[in-house]
Amino acid sequence: MGPFDKFHEECGIFGVFNHPEASNLTYLGLYALQHRGQESAGIVSSDGSALHVHKAMGLVADIFTEPVLKTLPGFSAIGHVRYSTTGSSQIKNAQPFVVSGGIGNVAIAHNGNLTNAMEIRKELESYGSIFQSTMDTEVIIHLMAISRERALLDRLMDALVRVQGAYSLLLMTEDTMIALRDPRGFRPLSIGTIDGATVVASESCAFDLIGAVFEREIEPGEIIYVDKKGVKSYKPFVPVKQSPCVFEFIYFARPDSIIFGKNVYEIRKELGRQLAREYPKEADIVIPVPDSGMPAAIGYAQEAGIPIELGLIRNHYVGRTFIEPKQSIRHFGVKIKLNPVREILRGKRVVVIDDSIVRATTGRKIIKMIRNGGAKEIHFLISSPPTRYPCFYGIDTPTKEELIANSHSMEEIREYITCDSLGYLSIEGLRHVVGGEQKPYCYACFDGRYPVEFPVRIPKPQMPLFYNL
Ligand code: AMP
């Protein structure tokens, strides 16, 4: 790929201002947000006169040992977890970014994707900017650096009016913290308090872990500025139609979080109820795909009046360090993670529920596993519409061609998965559950209607060598 070797990112951010245990709290906050990114993690702390940083590849609990946390002193800190599917040693892309220079020392952590980052980067490079990473976030820093404004917030605004797309951001200097959401509010971001200190997190589940009080969500287009004098809120953007990501509800956020004004678990359960209304089945049991299909399966079972059973048991201790032995005993595939309970499945007509299908590789393996476990009839129901379009706003999805629902008919997918029937929730059903027409969301992965356009690359053969002849 181009200068941004990873276009699709998934991330979580956490920040705390004015607390003696700032980096410890950030460590715990990131721990609660680990589901939002497992490739790298970083924390930057401030002791009032300098920024301290530690970033590494891997999981939060492995990276931030006690000795490491001791190197992150101070009363404020921001942190980031990141997931991307390319590049194993992309430590240069780990966040928060820390820069120093004309703008002073600034750390930045970003969740989301900027859709015009590539264009801006090319422009800045033509003026001589030298980029350290392949992350879209870095363009914000460069734009801030070339701003003619003096105050940090003004520099930031100069940068933000140029960028498009999805960004929930945390910035920190030695004595301030800034948190904001893009005007469309693609990604969640909440604010809370603990012992009089301000905390900010991608999801409220991070507040629960540290015992912070969830105050409210930061609004789309709102900038929260925190310093020793207190917390200020600004709304400098011209309001635009909001488009929070509906896929946060379906798959990405943790079920115990409150995002976009709603509890994620309740929404998922309601999606399952809606699924039962759209696909009533004559079945003996409902089985969730652990753990992604769990809340929707509960909703389905309740609405349909069919008992729910754990027909698949998950090994919770499968880590990234697992080494697959060679040859003879290989090809466990999904068996490493899941095992069917034959006593539950034998001779049954089952409804299997998951939250989404991407490439359908998991679904196919799971359905075969349930069949081998003795199920007589298998109905595979999905608590979201067919995922047909890639996300350009911060959810990791494969290319359009690799999304099975983009390139195959329902019958072809059913045949591939080998289930007796296949059903996806309707977009109308999804819309109804998340609040109807009056609550706008981004449904681009389902309907291809992207709220923010992204530059389309000219296919190579047609690209003129010289533009202004
Ligand atoms: P697949 O086998 O490619 O169809 O993947 C489907 C499974 O991946 C489902 O169990 C989903 O819960 C999960 N899933 C959906 N979206 C994503 C995503 N963006 N990243 C990782 N897993 C996902």
Cα 299 to middle of ligand 1, angstroms: 20
- Indicate whether residue 359 lines ligand 1 (CB < 6 A): yes
| Alpha carbon nearest to ligand 1 atom 19, residue | 396
Catalogue the long-range contacts made by 232-241 (C-beta closer than 8 Å, 24 or more residues apart): 234/153, 236/157, 237/160, 237/183, 238/183, 239/183, 240/183, 240/184, 241/184, 241/440, 241/451
For the chain, give every domain's residue range. 8-242, 266-315+330-431
List, in sequence order, every residue forming a beta bridge with 312; answer none if it has no partner.
Answer: 340
Cα 76 to Cα 60: distance, rounded to the nearest angstrom: 18
Three-class secondary structure assignment of 137-157: CHHHHHHHHHCCCCCHHHHHH
> In testing the pocket of ligand 1, which one of 113, 246, 251, 384 has its CB within 8 Å of the most ligand atoms?
251
Secondary structure E strands in 254-295: 258-259, 262-263, 285-288
Q: What share of the chain is helix, strand, coil (3-state, %, to 5)?
A: 30, 25, 45
From the alpha carbon of 360, which atom of ligand 1 is closest? 4
User: Helix crossing, 264-278 with 294-304: angle to 10°?
Assistant: 50
Of the listed 11, 205, 245, 391, which one is catalytic? 11
Q: Taking the chain (469 residues) in consecutive chunks of 10 residues, what is each chunk's mean pLDDT?
A: 49 98 98 95 97 96 97 98 64 91 92 93 90 90 92 95 95 98 97 98 98 98 97 94 97 98 98 98 98 97 98 84 58 80 98 97 95 97 97 89 95 98 98 88 96 59 34
Residue 445 annotated among the catalytic residues of the structure: no
Cα 53 to Cα 352: distance, rounded to the nearest angstrom: 45
- Indicate whether residue 292 lines ligand 1 (CB < 6 A): yes
What pLDDT, on the 0 to 100 scale, is given for residue 321? 58
Cα 443 to middle of ligand 1, angstroms: 17
- Indicate whether residue 63 lines ligand 1 (CB < 6 A): no
pTM to 2 decimals?
Answer: 0.93
**Cβ–Cβ under 8 Å, residues 220 and 182:** yes
| Alpha carbon nearest to ligand 1 atom 11, residue | 356
Cα 441 to middle of ligand 1, angstroms: 20
CATH number assigned to the domain covering 266-315+330-431: 3.40.50.2020
What pLDDT, on the 0 to 100 scale, is given for residue 334? 76
**Cβ–Cβ under 8 Å, residues 164 and 186:** no
| Domain 8-242 classification at class level | alpha beta
From the alpha carbon of 292, which atom of ligand 1 is closest? 12
> In testing the pocket of ligand 1, which one of 362, 387, 391, 417 has its CB within 8 Å of the most ligand atoms?
362
Cα 391 to middle of ligand 1, angstroms: 13
Question: Tokens 């999304």 correspond to what residue?
Answer: 403
What pLDDT, on the 0 to 100 scale, is given for residue 86? 43
Cα 182 to Cα 242: distance, rounded to the nearest angstrom: 9
Cα 358 to middle of ligand 1, angstroms: 5
Cα 397 to middle of ligand 1, angstroms: 9
From the alpha carbon of 397, which atom of ligand 1 is closest? 19
| Alpha carbon nearest to ligand 1 atom 5, residue | 358
Cα 252 to middle of ligand 1, angstroms: 10
Cα 56 to Cα 309: distance, rounded to the nearest angstrom: 40
- Indicate whether residue 360 lines ligand 1 (CB < 6 A): yes
Strands 51-57 and 40-46 come out as antiparallel
| Alpha carbon nearest to ligand 1 atom 12, residue | 292
- Indicate whether residue 84 lines ligand 1 (CB < 6 A): no
- Indicate whether residue 247 lines ligand 1 (CB < 6 A): no
Within 10 angstroms of residue 245's Cβ, the number of other Cβ atoms is 28
What pLDDT, on the 0 to 100 scale, is given for residue 399? 87
- Indicate whether residue 23 lines ligand 1 (CB < 6 A): no
> In testing the pocket of ligand 1, which one of 245, 352, 356 has its CB within 8 Å of the most ligand atoms?
356
Record the tokens describing residue 274, joined without a space.
């809606």
